[in-house]
Structure 1
Amino acid sequence: MTKLKNQKIFISELVDTFPQIKSEVFDEDYKKFISLQIGCFRHFTQNAIDAGDLETVKKCFEFVDINFNAVVFRIENSLMISYLGKLEIARDSEVEKLLPVKLKKAKEELAAYYESLSKDETLNKFLADIKTDLSSS
Protein backbone atom coordinates (compact mmCIF):
# COMPACT_ATOMS: atom_id res chain seq x y z
CA MET A 1 0.00 0.00 0.00
CA THR A 2 1.29 3.45 -0.93
CA LYS A 3 1.88 5.83 1.94
CA LEU A 4 -0.39 8.89 1.76
CA LYS A 5 1.15 12.35 1.77
CA ASN A 6 0.88 14.34 4.97
CA GLN A 7 0.47 18.12 5.20
CA LYS A 8 4.20 18.84 5.25
CA ILE A 9 4.89 16.85 2.07
CA PHE A 10 1.78 18.10 0.26
CA ILE A 11 2.46 21.77 1.05
CA SER A 12 6.12 21.40 0.11
CA GLU A 13 5.09 20.01 -3.29
CA LEU A 14 2.45 22.72 -3.66
CA VAL A 15 4.88 25.61 -3.15
CA ASP A 16 7.56 23.90 -5.27
CA THR A 17 5.04 23.68 -8.10
CA PHE A 18 3.52 27.14 -7.51
CA PRO A 19 6.25 29.34 -5.96
CA GLN A 20 4.04 32.40 -6.54
CA ILE A 21 1.96 31.45 -3.49
CA LYS A 22 4.78 30.38 -1.19
CA SER A 23 4.82 33.44 1.09
CA GLU A 24 1.05 33.40 1.52
CA VAL A 25 0.88 29.64 2.17
CA PHE A 26 3.65 29.90 4.76
CA ASP A 27 2.14 32.97 6.43
CA GLU A 28 2.22 32.40 10.18
CA ASP A 29 -1.57 32.69 10.37
CA TYR A 30 -2.07 30.00 7.71
CA LYS A 31 0.72 27.47 8.16
CA LYS A 32 -1.03 25.31 10.75
CA PHE A 33 -4.36 25.21 8.92
CA ILE A 34 -4.49 23.14 5.75
CA SER A 35 -7.87 24.56 4.72
CA LEU A 36 -6.43 28.11 4.76
CA GLN A 37 -3.36 27.01 2.83
CA ILE A 38 -5.54 25.29 0.25
CA GLY A 39 -7.72 28.41 0.23
CA CYS A 40 -4.64 30.37 -0.90
CA PHE A 41 -4.21 27.87 -3.72
CA ARG A 42 -7.90 28.13 -4.62
CA HIS A 43 -7.60 31.92 -4.75
CA PHE A 44 -4.55 31.57 -7.04
CA THR A 45 -6.50 29.20 -9.31
CA GLN A 46 -9.58 31.44 -9.33
CA ASN A 47 -7.45 34.42 -10.34
CA ALA A 48 -6.09 32.37 -13.25
CA ILE A 49 -9.64 31.35 -14.22
CA ASP A 50 -10.83 34.95 -14.08
CA ALA A 51 -7.84 36.13 -16.14
CA GLY A 52 -8.39 33.42 -18.76
CA ASP A 53 -4.94 31.94 -18.04
CA LEU A 54 -5.82 28.43 -19.16
CA GLU A 55 -2.23 27.18 -18.95
CA THR A 56 -2.05 27.98 -15.23
CA VAL A 57 -5.56 26.63 -14.64
CA LYS A 58 -4.63 23.36 -16.32
CA LYS A 59 -1.46 23.10 -14.21
CA CYS A 60 -3.50 23.71 -11.03
CA PHE A 61 -6.10 21.09 -11.96
CA GLU A 62 -3.39 18.56 -12.83
CA PHE A 63 -1.72 19.13 -9.46
CA VAL A 64 -4.98 18.53 -7.60
CA ASP A 65 -5.84 15.52 -9.77
CA ILE A 66 -2.48 13.87 -9.06
CA ASN A 67 -2.77 14.53 -5.33
CA PHE A 68 -6.49 14.02 -4.73
CA ASN A 69 -6.29 10.36 -3.70
CA ALA A 70 -2.62 10.47 -2.68
CA VAL A 71 -3.03 12.55 0.49
CA VAL A 72 -4.34 11.92 3.99
CA PHE A 73 -8.09 12.32 4.45
CA ARG A 74 -7.88 15.79 6.04
CA ILE A 75 -6.12 17.18 2.95
CA GLU A 76 -8.40 15.36 0.52
CA ASN A 77 -11.42 16.74 2.38
CA SER A 78 -9.99 20.25 2.21
CA LEU A 79 -9.27 19.87 -1.51
CA MET A 80 -12.88 18.84 -1.96
CA ILE A 81 -14.50 21.56 0.13
CA SER A 82 -12.05 24.49 0.26
CA TYR A 83 -10.79 24.09 -3.29
CA LEU A 84 -13.25 22.36 -5.62
CA GLY A 85 -16.32 23.41 -3.70
CA LYS A 86 -15.46 27.10 -3.87
CA LEU A 87 -14.06 27.45 -7.37
CA GLU A 88 -16.37 29.36 -9.67
CA ILE A 89 -16.34 27.63 -13.04
CA ALA A 90 -18.83 28.50 -15.75
CA ARG A 91 -20.75 25.59 -17.23
CA ASP A 92 -19.54 24.45 -20.64
CA SER A 93 -16.58 26.84 -20.45
CA GLU A 94 -13.04 26.14 -21.60
CA VAL A 95 -12.09 25.99 -17.94
CA GLU A 96 -14.68 23.31 -17.20
CA LYS A 97 -13.32 21.29 -20.12
CA LEU A 98 -9.89 21.33 -18.43
CA LEU A 99 -11.22 19.64 -15.28
CA PRO A 100 -10.01 16.04 -15.14
CA VAL A 101 -12.86 13.52 -14.99
CA LYS A 102 -12.22 12.65 -11.33
CA LEU A 103 -12.34 16.31 -10.25
CA LYS A 104 -15.38 17.13 -12.36
CA LYS A 105 -17.21 14.18 -10.82
CA ALA A 106 -16.19 15.24 -7.30
CA LYS A 107 -17.31 18.83 -7.95
CA GLU A 108 -20.68 17.62 -9.29
CA GLU A 109 -21.18 15.31 -6.31
CA LEU A 110 -20.43 18.14 -3.90
CA ALA A 111 -22.86 20.44 -5.72
CA ALA A 112 -25.54 17.74 -5.59
CA TYR A 113 -24.93 17.29 -1.87
CA TYR A 114 -25.28 21.02 -1.21
CA GLU A 115 -28.41 21.09 -3.35
CA SER A 116 -29.93 18.27 -1.32
CA LEU A 117 -29.24 20.19 1.90
CA SER A 118 -31.15 23.19 0.62
CA LYS A 119 -34.25 20.99 0.21
CA ASP A 120 -34.19 19.76 3.79
CA GLU A 121 -36.75 22.02 5.48
CA THR A 122 -35.90 20.86 9.01
CA LEU A 123 -32.23 21.63 8.43
CA ASN A 124 -33.05 24.99 6.84
CA LYS A 125 -35.19 25.98 9.84
CA PHE A 126 -32.45 24.87 12.24
CA LEU A 127 -29.82 26.92 10.37
CA ALA A 128 -32.12 29.94 10.20
CA ASP A 129 -32.71 29.71 13.96
CA ILE A 130 -28.97 29.58 14.63
CA LYS A 131 -28.41 32.56 12.35
CA THR A 132 -31.12 34.50 14.19
CA ASP A 133 -29.66 33.56 17.58
CA LEU A 134 -26.18 34.65 16.49
CA SER A 135 -27.49 37.92 15.08
CA SER A 136 -29.29 38.82 18.28
CA SER A 137 -26.30 38.16 20.56
Structure 2
Amino acid sequence: MKDQDLFIKELIQLFPSLKEEFLDEDYRDSMTFQIGRFKRFIQQAIAKNDLITFDVMVDFLTKNLPLVDKRVQNAIYLSFLGKLDFSKNPDFKKRLGLHLGEAYTNIENYNNSPRNNRGTE
Protein backbone atom coordinates (compact mmCIF):
# COMPACT_ATOMS: atom_id res chain seq x y z
CA MET A 1 0.00 0.00 0.00
CA LYS A 2 1.29 3.45 -0.94
CA ASP A 3 1.44 6.10 1.70
CA GLN A 4 0.50 9.73 1.29
CA ASP A 5 4.12 10.89 0.84
CA LEU A 6 4.77 8.48 -2.04
CA PHE A 7 1.46 9.41 -3.67
CA ILE A 8 2.34 13.14 -3.50
CA LYS A 9 5.91 12.48 -4.69
CA GLU A 10 4.63 10.63 -7.76
CA LEU A 11 2.06 13.37 -8.40
CA ILE A 12 4.86 15.97 -8.36
CA GLN A 13 6.90 13.84 -10.78
CA LEU A 14 3.98 13.89 -13.21
CA PHE A 15 3.15 17.55 -12.68
CA PRO A 16 6.38 19.36 -11.67
CA SER A 17 4.68 22.76 -11.58
CA LEU A 18 2.94 21.63 -8.37
CA LYS A 19 6.21 20.92 -6.54
CA GLU A 20 6.89 24.34 -5.04
CA GLU A 21 3.42 24.73 -3.57
CA PHE A 22 3.04 21.08 -2.49
CA LEU A 23 6.32 21.22 -0.58
CA ASP A 24 5.79 24.70 0.84
CA GLU A 25 5.75 24.63 4.64
CA ASP A 26 2.08 25.70 4.66
CA TYR A 27 1.04 22.83 2.35
CA ARG A 28 3.58 20.09 3.06
CA ASP A 29 1.77 18.56 6.02
CA SER A 30 -1.78 19.03 4.77
CA MET A 31 -3.22 16.53 2.34
CA THR A 32 -6.31 18.73 2.11
CA PHE A 33 -4.29 21.77 0.97
CA GLN A 34 -2.26 19.67 -1.48
CA ILE A 35 -5.34 18.06 -3.00
CA GLY A 36 -7.09 21.45 -3.14
CA ARG A 37 -4.13 22.80 -5.10
CA PHE A 38 -4.24 19.77 -7.40
CA LYS A 39 -7.95 20.40 -7.96
CA ARG A 40 -7.28 24.02 -9.00
CA PHE A 41 -4.52 22.79 -11.33
CA ILE A 42 -6.82 20.27 -13.04
CA GLN A 43 -9.67 22.80 -13.11
CA GLN A 44 -7.36 25.08 -15.10
CA ALA A 45 -6.61 22.19 -17.48
CA ILE A 46 -10.36 21.73 -18.00
CA ALA A 47 -10.81 25.47 -18.64
CA LYS A 48 -7.91 25.48 -21.14
CA ASN A 49 -9.19 22.34 -22.88
CA ASP A 50 -5.89 20.63 -21.97
CA LEU A 51 -6.76 17.01 -22.73
CA ILE A 52 -3.21 15.74 -22.19
CA THR A 53 -2.93 17.01 -18.60
CA PHE A 54 -6.44 15.81 -17.81
CA ASP A 55 -5.84 12.34 -19.28
CA VAL A 56 -2.52 11.99 -17.39
CA MET A 57 -4.41 12.82 -14.17
CA VAL A 58 -7.13 10.24 -14.94
CA ASP A 59 -4.52 7.58 -15.69
CA PHE A 60 -2.57 8.38 -12.52
CA LEU A 61 -5.63 8.30 -10.25
CA THR A 62 -7.07 5.18 -11.88
CA LYS A 63 -3.80 3.31 -11.25
CA ASN A 64 -3.01 4.74 -7.82
CA LEU A 65 -6.29 5.18 -5.94
CA PRO A 66 -6.64 1.44 -5.26
CA LEU A 67 -3.11 1.43 -3.82
CA VAL A 68 -3.49 4.18 -1.22
CA ASP A 69 -5.14 4.17 2.18
CA LYS A 70 -8.73 5.27 2.78
CA ARG A 71 -7.69 8.69 4.08
CA VAL A 72 -5.96 9.55 0.79
CA GLN A 73 -8.83 8.04 -1.20
CA ASN A 74 -11.37 10.13 0.72
CA ALA A 75 -9.33 13.30 0.14
CA ILE A 76 -9.23 12.58 -3.59
CA TYR A 77 -12.92 11.76 -3.84
CA LEU A 78 -14.26 14.57 -1.67
CA SER A 79 -11.72 17.42 -1.94
CA PHE A 80 -10.76 16.81 -5.56
CA LEU A 81 -13.13 14.79 -7.69
CA GLY A 82 -16.29 16.00 -5.96
CA LYS A 83 -15.29 19.63 -6.44
CA LEU A 84 -14.36 19.58 -10.13
CA ASP A 85 -16.63 21.73 -12.28
CA PHE A 86 -17.33 20.42 -15.76
CA SER A 87 -20.06 22.96 -16.61
CA LYS A 88 -17.89 24.90 -19.08
CA ASN A 89 -16.43 21.77 -20.67
CA PRO A 90 -18.79 18.80 -20.10
CA ASP A 91 -16.92 16.54 -22.53
CA PHE A 92 -14.13 16.23 -19.97
CA LYS A 93 -16.47 14.42 -17.58
CA LYS A 94 -16.74 11.63 -20.14
CA ARG A 95 -12.95 11.25 -20.04
CA LEU A 96 -12.94 10.25 -16.36
CA GLY A 97 -13.22 6.58 -17.26
CA LEU A 98 -15.36 3.99 -15.57
CA HIS A 99 -14.21 4.09 -11.93
CA LEU A 100 -13.64 7.84 -11.58
CA GLY A 101 -16.77 8.56 -13.65
CA GLU A 102 -18.91 6.41 -11.36
CA ALA A 103 -17.37 8.00 -8.28
CA TYR A 104 -17.99 11.49 -9.67
CA THR A 105 -21.62 10.64 -10.49
CA ASN A 106 -22.17 9.15 -7.02
CA ILE A 107 -20.74 12.26 -5.32
CA GLU A 108 -22.76 14.53 -7.61
CA ASN A 109 -25.97 12.59 -6.89
CA TYR A 110 -25.28 12.67 -3.15
CA ASN A 111 -24.59 16.41 -3.19
CA ASN A 112 -27.76 17.07 -5.19
CA SER A 113 -30.05 14.81 -3.18
CA PRO A 114 -32.93 16.59 -1.41
CA ARG A 115 -31.76 15.57 2.07
CA ASN A 116 -28.49 17.43 1.49
CA ASN A 117 -30.09 20.63 0.24
CA ARG A 118 -32.09 21.65 3.29
CA GLY A 119 -29.79 24.55 4.00
CA THR A 120 -29.08 23.38 7.54
CA GLU A 121 -25.40 23.74 8.29
TM-score, normalization by structure 2: 0.90
Percent of aligned positions that are identical: 34
Give the one of 45, 65, 69 matched to 1:68. 65
Extract unaligned runs of 5+ from structure 2.
Answer: none
| Preserved CA contact (<8 Å) 2:22 2:28 | yes
What is the alpha-carbon distance in structure 2 between the residues aligned to residue 124 and residue 53 of structure 1? 36
Residue in 2 aligned with 1:109? 106
Aligned-residue CA RMSD (Å): 1.9
Indicate the structure whose relative CO is greater, using CA pairs within 8 Å and at least 6 residues apart.
2
Provide structure 1 residue ranges, at least 5 long, that are not aligned to the other structure.
Answer: 128-137
**Which amino acid counterpart does residue 66 of structure 2 have in structure 1?**
N
Partner of 1:135: none
TM-score w.r.t. length of structure 1: 0.80
* Cα-to-partner distance string for 1:3-40 (whole Å, 9 max, x where unaligned): x2111111111101111110011111111111111111
2:37 matched to 1:40?
yes
Native 8 Å contact 2:62 2:100 kept in 1: yes
Structure 2 counterpart of 1:38, which letter?
I
What is the aligned partner in structure 2 of residue 133 from structure 1?
A: none
Aligned residues: 121
Rounded to whole Å, the distance in 1 between the matches of 2:15 and 2:105 is 26
Q: For 1:10 and 1:80, how far apart are their aligned partners in 2?
A: 15
- Counterpart residue identity of residue 98, structure 1: R
Structure 1 residue ranges, 4+ long, deviating more than 2 angstroms after superposition: 90-94, 123-126
